[in-house]
Amino acid sequence: MMPLQLTSTAFNNQDMIPRKYTCDGDDISPPLQWSNPPKGAQTYALICDDPDAPSGTWDHWVVFNIPGTTAALSRAILPEPNLSNGSTHGKNGWGRLGYGGPCPPSGTHRYFFRLYALERCSTCRRVQARRSSSRPWSNTSWPRRS
C-alpha cells in the first residue's frame, strides 16, 4: 500500500516557500492536497511548524477535525474557528486561529507540514495544545526554508 502523500501546487518538497505564503508577502495559507489515505481514516489533523524557532518549535498552522472524505485544503483559508468543510482551526504559536506564514527573526528556518490520518477524533481538541494523543497512521513532513 502506498503511504499517505501530502503535496502542494505552490511549491515542491524542499523548495523555498514562495513569498506570498510568508509574513513578507500576503501571509496566506498554501494549497495542500493529499492522496493514498489509509483505510479507515475518519479524520485528519494538519500541523505546520518551525523546529528552528529561537523559543523552540513554533506552530504556524493547526487544523483538525478535517473530514476523512476531504483530500485538499484550498489556498488562502480564512482564520475562522470552523471551516466550511467542518474542520476546526487550532491556535498557532502567536495565539491566533489560522495560518501564520514563515517569519523567521533571522537566518533560514525549516518548515514541516504534517498530516495525521486518524481513526477517530475523540482527542482532536488536544491538537490545540500541540499534538493529538491519537496515534497517526502516517506522517508526511516537508522541510522548508524561508
Q: Tell me: the pLDDT tens digits for 26-63?
A: 999 999 999 999 988 899 999 999 999 999 999 999 99
Q: CB neighbours of 39 closer than 8 A, spacing ≥ 6?
A: none
Q: Is the pLDDT of residue 66 over 90?
A: yes
Q: What is the pLDDT of residue 12?
A: 92
- The helices-and-strands tally (H runs, E runs) of the chain is 0, 7
Q: What is the DSSP letter of 7?
A: E
Complete domains list, the chain, with CATH: 5-129 (3.90.280.10)
> Which is it for strands 112-118 and 43-50: parallel, antiparallel or unpaired?
antiparallel
C-alpha cell at 105: 527573526
Q: Tell me: the pLDDT tens digits for 76-128?
A: 999 999 999 999 999 999 999 999 999 998 889 999 999 999 987 655 554 44
Helix (H, G, I), strand (E, B) or coil at 47: strand
